[in-house]
Amino acid sequence: MKIVTYNVNGLRPRIAQYGSLLKLLDSFDADIICFQETKLRRQELRADLIIADGYESFVSCTRTSEKGRTGYSGVATFCRVKSAFSSNEVALPVRAEEGFTGLLESSHKGEGTMPAVAEGLEEFSKEELLKVDREGRCIVTDHGHFVLFNIYGPRAQSDDTERVLFKSNFYNILQKRWEHLLRQGKRIFVVGDLNIAPTSMDHCDAGPDFENNEFRRWLRSLLVGCGGHFTDIFRAKHPDRNDAYTCWPQSTGAEVFNYGTRIDHILCAGPCLHPDSNLPSHDIVNCHVLECDILSQYKRWKDGNSFRWKGEQTVKLEGSDHAPVYASLLEIPDTPQHSAPSLSARYNPKIHGLQQTLVSMLLKKQAAEGSATCKISNSFSSGNDVLGNCSQGLNGSFDNGDLSGLLPGESCSSTNIETEDSLLKTEESSGGGYSEEAPCNTLITHESLHTKTLPENETRKRVRRSSQMSLKSFFQTNSVISNVADSSNANSTINKADTSESNPIEIPRSDTHITDSGKYLEENPDQSHINASSVEREKSGVALLEWRRIQQVMQNSIPLCKRHKEPCVARVVKKQGPNNGRRFYVCARAEGPASNPEANCGYFKWAVSKSRHN
């Protein structure tokens, strides 16, 4: 049996990276896969995110509405099984529980059963227990021979007293639950990102007081070497391995020089499964754990990358900022026949993709019905389009193709509806039926003999999307206006009768151009091509020169770091305090050991900014 723990740093990007959830899970070739930091909210759960063929899934999402905590954490456990029913596979849990306090959803509670505090936690109030369980940081699965805790431990800065207290309460309550299970003779596996590096060997830059941190002391107190019940399986198998890290800062390129920390763990406690388990040489690690290691192939920075880190500006690394850790187990016998517990995602009707919502049903119906398109019997000049506004009543259904208010000579036939938004927006405004009077824009194309009908607000929306000027167009504006004006004076004749309000607008011939003012310009095709080419070259030259000038000004204002004499990168202080929002410059090289001349030199300089009072 193989168990994998992996902080995915967002489940959706990891699924996108591998193409599907199934491909991501299969890449580990493991029986139990535990993800942390899924960043999924309960209302965002979809079948394609948490359900895969051949796996039973158990998910916990954040339940708090606290600012900055919604959709922040989340854990998920996936169990590879051949059958979810009447199975004796160890990977299929006998029971499952969301959270670890007993107050959230659990598979062993009957219908209508009131939540009850888990055994061993009676000394804590329900408010204390619910607070530590609301952030979606734990899934417990009972596999018969052992109980598995999938944990995403809280992170707390030393100066954030509120989060330090939360983290302390979280682990204090969790330890009480573990101790109670051990007293009952249970075997326990604890896997996940605990956000704690236990010793100096597990951190790249450990100072003299590193191991005096209260949470590091707490984690070491759980271990057998310090009088506790748990074994750090990785250290038991690799006691002298240095630079064995599982997490690296995202913004500093620390993976380049393996400058990280080991905070993802697999711990275990309890007796072995042999009859003579009380013998001194018998314990769960010596008898049942074959190997435990870090899956370095999942690191974002691959060995042999040819490009150099430059302050994250030009480097986009695909993957999580953590590496998975796995443990291989031996001689784990089958369990009595059982089926997937009720907490499995397969039984959750709220997961999108299992139960149809009203909106999804309407969208599917709409896609099946199709849209109305119009064929134009009138003939127009070749190669010209006319954009007109019309107000047409939609009487009846699209199925019958009954549309009124069209121009004479137009016939309608029912085909696929092009946009899904139009149906939803029309339903919202009319209480579920079609709008009787729907303003629209009709684009009539002579070559294709099609009309594309769009709601008026949809047309405005598309116009707004393209209304933002690009940097190149900003520098082109003046040159375009001047060239059009010159071309107008030299090659055009203005017919005022064509632009009068009393006469209809004539459709210009194919060799006629329309100016911004609405006038028609007739010009020689060869001369037009020459003028357009010269105008394009002039516009490109002006934009290029201006962009180079801006780049030079920006480059001159960026300081050079002291060691490498290279341009620094600008960053902004995000931490709350007097310097919040202030810009500063640092060395652009990847973070690494100070002894490595190729690593970040530690250069720092505040950006010069004008006082707000000036």
The 10s digit of each residue's pLDDT in 268-315 is 999 888 887 667 777 889 889 999 999 999 998 766 555 555 655 445
Q: Is residue 581 part of a domain?
A: yes
440 in any annotated domain = no
In a domain, 422, yes or no: no
Label residues 299-319 b or e (16+ Cβ within 10 Å = b). Answer: bbbeeeeeeebebbeebebeb
Which of 193, 202, 264, 283 is an active site residue? 193
**Mean pLDDT, residues 363-378:** 50
CA atoms within 13 A on the CB side of 90: 16
Which of 97-129 are b and which e, b meaning 16 or more Cβ less than 10 Å from the residue's Cβ? bbbbbbbbebbeeeeeeeeeebebbeebeeeeb
* Burial class of residue 298 (count of CB atoms within 10 Å of its CB; 0-12, 13-18, 19+): middle
For 410-560, strand residue ranges (E) read 410-414, 437-445, 450-455, 512-514, 520-522
Mean pLDDT of 495-504: 42
What are the angstrom distances between the C-alpha of 137 and each of 104, 247, 543? 12, 18, 52
Segment 222-228 shows an average pLDDT of 94
The confidence score (pLDDT) of residue 235 equals: 96
pLDDT of residue 290: 94
Contact assessment for residue 35 and residue 98, using Cβ atoms and an 8 Å cutoff: no
Instruction: Tell me what pLDDT residue 377 has.
Output: 43
Residue 348, domain member (yes or no): yes
pLDDT of residue 423 exceeding 70: no
Q: Which helix (H) or strand (E) holds 421?
A: helix 421-430
| Report field, pTM of the whole predicted structure over 0.85 | no
pLDDT at 277: 65
- Per cent of the chain over pLDDT 90 is 41
Q: Does 439 score more than 50 pLDDT?
A: no
What token pair was written down for 306? 């040819």
**Does position 512 have pLDDT exceeding 60, yes or no?**
no
The yes-or-no verdict on residue 336 having pLDDT over 70 is yes
Degrees, nearest 5: CA angle 61-231-76: 15
Cα 117–120–124 angle (5° rounding)?
60
Residue 590 has pLDDT above 80, yes or no: yes
Active site residue 55: no
Alpha carbon 410 to its chain centroid, in Å, reads: 48
What pLDDT score does 325 carry? Answer: 98
Annotated binding-site residues read: 7, 37, 193, 195, 321-322
pLDDT tens by residue, 126-152: 999 999 999 999 999 999 999 999 999
- What confidence score (pLDDT) does residue 350 get? 79
**DSSP states of 453-497:** EEEHHHHHHHHHHT-SPPHHHHHHHHHHHHHHHHHHHHH----HH
526 included as an active-site residue: no
Active-site option among 145, 259, 322, 603: 322
301, 321, 352: which is the final residue of a domain? 352
174: exposed, middle or buried (Cβ count in 10 Å: 0-12, 13-18, 19+): buried
Q: Which amino acid is at 343?
A: L
- What is the residue type of 313? Q
**pLDDT confidence of residue 324:** 98
What average pLDDT score do residues 593-605 get? 84
Identify the CATH number of the domain in which residue 99 sits. Answer: 3.60.10.10
d(CA 253, CA 235): 26
Better-scored residue on pLDDT, 500 or 121: 121
Residue 441 — pLDDT band, cuts 50, 70, 90? very low
Average pLDDT over residues 424-449: 41
Taking residues 484-504, what's their average pLDDT?
45
Maximum Cα–Cα distance for the chain, whole Å? 108
Residue 127: inside a domain, yes or no? Answer: yes
Answer for the pair 220, 230: CB distance below 8 angstroms, yes or no.
Answer: no
Mean pLDDT score of the chain, rounded to an integer?
76
Better pLDDT: 361 or 514: 361
Q: Which domain holds residue 593?
A: 557-613
- Domain termination site, one of 336, 352, 368: 352
Average pLDDT over residues 240-253: 89
pLDDT at 187 over 80: yes
Catalytic: which of 6, 55, 152, 259?
152
User: Looking at residues 236-250, what average pLDDT do you find?
Assistant: 93
At 130 the pLDDT is 92
Q: Which residues sit in the known binding site for Mg(2+)?
A: 7, 37, 193, 195, 321-322
Domains of the chain: total:
2
The pLDDT score that the predictor gives to residue 11 is: 96
SS3 286: helix
Strand, coil or helix: 362: helix
Q: 């810009």: which residue's tokens? A: 583
More confident site: 164 or 71: 164
Other CB atoms within a 10 A radius of the CB of residue 594 amount to 10
322 in active site = yes
Q: What is the C-alpha to C-alpha distance for residues 366 and 455, in angstroms, rounded to an integer?
A: 16
Angle, helix 161-183 to helix 214-222, in steps of 10 degrees: 10
State pLDDT tens for residues 49-107: 999 999 999 999 988 766 656 667 999 999 999 999 999 999 999 999 999 999 987 65
Does the pLDDT of residue 599 top 50, yes or no? yes
Task: Convert the pLDDT of each residue in 207-220 to its tens digit.
Answer: 899 999 999 999 99
Q: pLDDT class for 554, splitting at 50, 70, 90?
A: low
Does the structure show a pLDDT above 90 at 501? Answer: no
If you average pLDDT over each of 107-121, 158-172, 419-433, which comes out highest? 158-172
Distance in angstroms (rounded) separating the CA atoms of residues 316 and 524: 50
Within-domain flag for 542? no
Residue 60 maps to a domain: yes
> Given this model, what pLDDT does residue 5 score?
98
Tokens of 79: 């169990």
Instruction: State residue 520's pLDDT score.
Output: 45
**Window from 212-216, 365-369, 500-504 with minimum mean pLDDT:** 500-504
Residue 8 and residue 36 in contact, taking contact as beta carbons nearer than 8 Å: yes
Which range, of 123-132, 194-203, 316-325, 424-433, averages the lowest pLDDT?
424-433
Instruction: Categorize the per-residue pLDDT at 525 as very low, low, confident or very high, splitting at 50, 70 and 90.
Output: low
Looking at residue 495, what is its pLDDT? 44
Least confident of 12-16, 68-72, 499-503, 519-523: 499-503
Q: How far is CA 563 from the centre of its chain?
A: 37
Is 419 part of any domain? no
Say if CB 454 and CB 440 are below 8 A apart. yes
Residues in the chain: 614
Which pLDDT band holds residue 233 (cuts at 50, 70, 90)?
very high
In a 3-state reduction of DSSP, which class is residue 80?
Answer: strand
% the chain with pLDDT above 70: 63
d(CA 549, CA 435) in angstroms, rounded, equals: 55
CA distances from 320 to 69, 200, 250, 324 (A): 20, 24, 9, 9
Task: Give the C-alpha separation, 182 to 270, whole Å.
Answer: 7
Rounded Cα distance between 15 and 71, Å, is 17
Of the residues 352, 379, 414, which one is the last residue of a structural domain? Answer: 352
Q: What is the pLDDT of residue 433?
A: 41
Who wins on pLDDT, 79 or 351? 79
